[in-house]
Amino acid sequence: MNKRLHTFKYILFDLLGTSVAWFLFHVYRKVVIEPKVFGEFARFDVGINVILGLILLPFFWLFLFYVNGFYKDIYRRSRLKQLGASILANFFGVLIIFFLLLLDDYVASYKNYYQMFLMLFALQFTFTYFPRLIITSATIRKIRKGIIGFPTIIVGDDERALELYNDITNQPKLGGNRIIGFVSTGFRDELSLNGITPHLGTYSTLRDIIQEHNVEEVLIAIENSDNKVISRITNDLIGLDVIVKAIPSLYDMLTGRVKMTAIFGTPLIQVSFDLMPMWQQKLKLLFDFTFSLLALIVFSPLILVISLIIKITSKGPVLFKQERIGRYGKPFILYKFRSMYTNAEANGPALSSKDDDRITPIGRFLRKTRLDEIPNFYNVIKGDMSLVGPRPERLFFIEQIVEKAPHYLHLQKVKPGITSWGQVKYGYAENVDQMVQRLKFDLLYIENMTLFVDFKILIYTLITVFRGKGV
């Protein structure tokens, strides 16, 4: 089971399909549309624009398909969902091409515009969807025959876990789940799956078990009353490349949260750790990288000036480097312009305050205008940070925050940012209690993450900078 090779098949046929569709559309324009304008002796040729289209447009389509998640979870495709996604992606792609490239075509009647739009959509859809359908159908057949399977573990040790195991192993058509063992909660002496499938350990070591056995799916079969256990398990799974499904409660079924899955016997809820739709995640990533790269280029003269002033006015390096905690609890090195005297934390970690005498005169100006954070753009380009997200903190302070507010760890679901809703609404924190107070704004952000909210925060940040309300 080679995921890269399988993904390459989709990409290759998308490239070929979009090229064929564009060439045939060019033929249609020359044979059907242009004779209505220029007469029956309209010249048929393949010019440089057509050749450029054959080379460049397929990569536009690849980007569009990538943003829409077409190359993610390639072994778990629903043909019905794939049909709907293909219609939408091709429609919007054709709409973009139509307004950028085709709207200035000479036509005999406005009806020709509708004809061209429909023809391009029909060709694009036909030559991309049907090869994709053939590949997906072949993959589904291999899954049902057991040729392709996903290493799966069951978390649970009571009758629910046994019932789920029996449903999976006895279903008439295989769903791809290869049960390699189960993980117990550690609260029972008698384990329902003992002797049936290997006992891999307890849920406290679940993360290590997943990594050791290359697990791809985790099925949670625990009583809904065990909320603390379920919460602990789902938090431990954040950041791992695994699919998580859980047996729903009756309430979940009545409220419509249960969706159909590949397992026919027991209905399951798929737990999603994505806080934004896939296409928004990809656009956010692209915007972060592009904006940060442009910012470093545009600010390069200012960066040089600030560097010289820092070097002249105080001893020490121009850049301040410090370890911070990023997404999924992974440490990274944060870069800023140095705004304090060297050895400012000789007595241990300490947060800065408004009248902090450790801050240099130029550092006070840089903090007030937030120019000290320009090097953060380098962190964004590296992938450690985003433009918008909760500000990254040091482990020393995170441990203190978690003691007072354990839900702080939810912030680690997302990349830390140069600016945040907490920073806009609350400002910089001078102590741990203020950090806890600011936390509610950052939690509100991650529960309502959209590109629109990001842009709103960026605008508020610019207003703050221009008013000089930094710290």
Q: Give the per-residue pLDDT at 42.
A: 55
pLDDT digits (tens, 9 = 90+) for 398-450: 999 988 888 888 888 899 999 999 888 887 778 888 888 899 899 889 888 99
Q: Are residues 106 and 166 in the same domain?
A: no
Q: Are residues 421 and 317 in the same domain?
A: yes
Residue type, 412: Q
Q: What is the mean pLDDT of residues 254-280?
A: 65
Local confidence band at 146 (pLDDT 50, 70, 90 cut-offs): confident
When mean pLDDT is compared over 143-147, 363-367, 379-383, the highest value belongs to 379-383
Q: Are residues 399 and 327 in the same domain?
A: yes
Q: Are residues 298 and 441 in the same domain?
A: yes
Q: Which has the higher per-residue pLDDT, 409 or 255?
A: 409
C-alpha 102/C-alpha 456 separation (Å) is 34
Q: Give the per-residue pLDDT at 453.
A: 92
The domain boundary, picked from 112, 145, 178, lies at: 145
Q: Give the per-residue pLDDT at 41.
A: 55
Q: Are residues 141 and 156 in the same domain?
A: no
Q: Give the per-residue pLDDT at 204.
A: 83
Q: Which has the higher per-residue pLDDT, 105 or 319?
A: 319
Q: Which has the higher per-residue pLDDT, 166 or 226?
A: 166
Whether 254 has a pLDDT exceeding 50, the answer reads no
Please enumerate in sequence order all residues whose Cβ is within 8 A of that of 131, keeping only pairs 6 or more positions apart, or say none. Answer: 13, 14, 16, 17
Q: What is the mean pLDDT of residues 173-177?
A: 83
Q: Which has the higher per-residue pLDDT, 259 or 464?
A: 464
Q: Give the per-residue pLDDT at 22.
A: 93
Whether 161 has a pLDDT exceeding 70, the answer reads yes
Task: Quote the pTM value.
Answer: 0.67
Q: Are residues 288 and 433 in the same domain?
A: yes
At 95 the three-state DSSP class reads helix
Sort 190 into a burial class: Cβ within 10 Å, 0-12 / 13-18 / 19+: exposed
Q: Which residues pair with 181 in a beta bridge?
A: 153
- Taken as a whole, the chain contains a residue count of 471
The number of domains in the chain is 3
Q: Are residues 200 and 304 in the same domain?
A: no
C-alpha 52/C-alpha 164 separation (Å) is 55
Q: What is the CATH number of the domain that holds 171?
A: 3.40.50.720
**What distances in angstroms separate CA 261 from CA 86, 181, 268, 448, one per listed residue?**
20, 21, 7, 27
Local confidence band at 53 (pLDDT 50, 70, 90 cut-offs): confident
Whether 21 has a pLDDT exceeding 90, the answer reads yes
Whether 49 has a pLDDT exceeding 80, the answer reads no
Local confidence band at 261 (pLDDT 50, 70, 90 cut-offs): low
The domain boundary, picked from 97, 122, 145, lies at: 145
Domain hosting 312: range is: 278-467
Lowest mean pLDDT among 52-66, 226-240, 326-340: 226-240
Q: Are residues 202 and 248 in the same domain?
A: yes
Q: Give the per-residue pLDDT at 37.
A: 63
Whether 259 has a pLDDT exceeding 80, the answer reads no
Q: Give the per-residue pLDDT at 210.
A: 92
The domain boundary, picked from 270, 303, 321, lies at: 270
Q: Which has the higher per-residue pLDDT, 34 or 157?
A: 157
Crossing angle for the helix pair 278-298 and 451-467, nearest 10 degrees? Answer: 30
Q: Give the per-residue pLDDT at 362.
A: 92
Q: Are residues 308 and 431 in the same domain?
A: yes
User: What does the mean pLDDT of the chain come to?
Assistant: 85
When mean pLDDT is compared over 118-122, 206-210, 238-242, 458-462, the highest value belongs to 118-122
Q: Are residues 192 and 324 in the same domain?
A: no
C-alpha 346/C-alpha 332 separation (Å) is 22
Whether 187 has a pLDDT exceeding 70, the answer reads no
Whether 285 has a pLDDT exceeding 80, the answer reads yes
Q: Which residues pair with 270 in a beta bridge?
A: 245
Q: Are residues 76 and 218 in the same domain?
A: no
Residue type, 215: V
Place of tokens 């949260």: 257
The percent of residues in the chain predicted with pLDDT above 70, rounded, is 89
Q: Give the per-residue pLDDT at 325.
A: 94
Q: Are residues 63 and 159 in the same domain?
A: no
Whether 68 has a pLDDT exceeding 80, the answer reads yes
